[in-house]
């Protein structure tokens, strides 16, 4: 059995468009799980932090957390809190970030509303040029449609699309979803995952459970 090398940058020989994202991240406020990949056919995939994680300023200490075995398509973007000009003020103009000009002594982080971290579960597929907004949590197994703008949390194994993104349908029955969430196959050793890949691909949860109980 071949042993997956999760420490590679490029998991496909001769293909520099796809990277294991965990191995190109340098920002301590970005956490990525094993085998999650990013595919970019426009820019260098290794520049994910610069091109895809936007308004992620250190002053907020907000985090991007992405689980294991996620598939992130070209141009998907994560918009953080500094993109949200505050609506508590009488004006949306960000006076606080120009404190050198106005000399009022208000800290820069008062210029926007802090909605919190972006948290992506495991086995999530994020489609081409989708946008995930600050404060959003996406559940395990969810699918985000092409160019969707996600402003609210997405439940596990739910397909969403549109602007703003809305639920389209569940991927499986509630029973299968519950079993998958209890199984958490993405946390299994890769040797075990290798043994059940065929069953996973065929969508056979009973066979998956049977093989794990052997």
What positions carry a catalytic annotation?
Answer: 85
Residue with token string 């699309």: 161
Long-range contacts of 179-188 (CB under 8 A, 24+ apart): 179/205, 179/209, 180/140, 180/141, 180/205, 181/140, 181/156, 183/208, 183/209, 183/212, 184/122, 184/140, 186/33, 186/67, 186/68, 186/69, 186/122, 186/123, 186/140, 187/68, 187/122, 188/212
Residue 122 in contact with residue 106, Cβ under 8 Å?
A: no
Gyration radius of the chain over CA positions: 20
């Amino acid at each position: 059995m071949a042993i997956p090398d999760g420490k590679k940058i490029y998991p496909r020989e001769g293909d520099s468009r796809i990277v294991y994202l965990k191995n190109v991240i340098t920002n301590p406020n970005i956490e990525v799980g094993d085998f999650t990949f990013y595919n970019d056919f426009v820019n260098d995939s290794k520049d994910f932090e610069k091109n895809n994680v936007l308004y992620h300023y250190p002053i907020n200490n907000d985090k991007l957390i992405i689980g294991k075995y996620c598939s992130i398509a070209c141009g998907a973007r994560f918009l953080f809190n500094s993109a949200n000009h505050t609506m508590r003020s009488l004006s949306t103009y960000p006076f606080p970030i120009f404190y050198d000009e106005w000399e009022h002594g208000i800290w820069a982080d008062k210029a926007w509303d802090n909605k919190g971290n972006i948290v992506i579960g495991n086995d999530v597929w994020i489609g081409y040029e989708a946008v995930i907004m600050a404060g959003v949590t996406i559940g395990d197994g969810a699918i985000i449609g092409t160019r969707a703008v996600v402003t609210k949390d997405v439940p596990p194994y739910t397909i969403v699309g549109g602007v703003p993104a809305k639920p389209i349908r569940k991927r499986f029955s509630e029973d299968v979803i519950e079993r998958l969430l209890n199984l958490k196959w993405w946390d299994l050793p890769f040797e075990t995952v290798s043994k059940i890949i065929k069953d996973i691909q065929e969508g056979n949860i009973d066979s998956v459970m049977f093989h794990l109980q052997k």
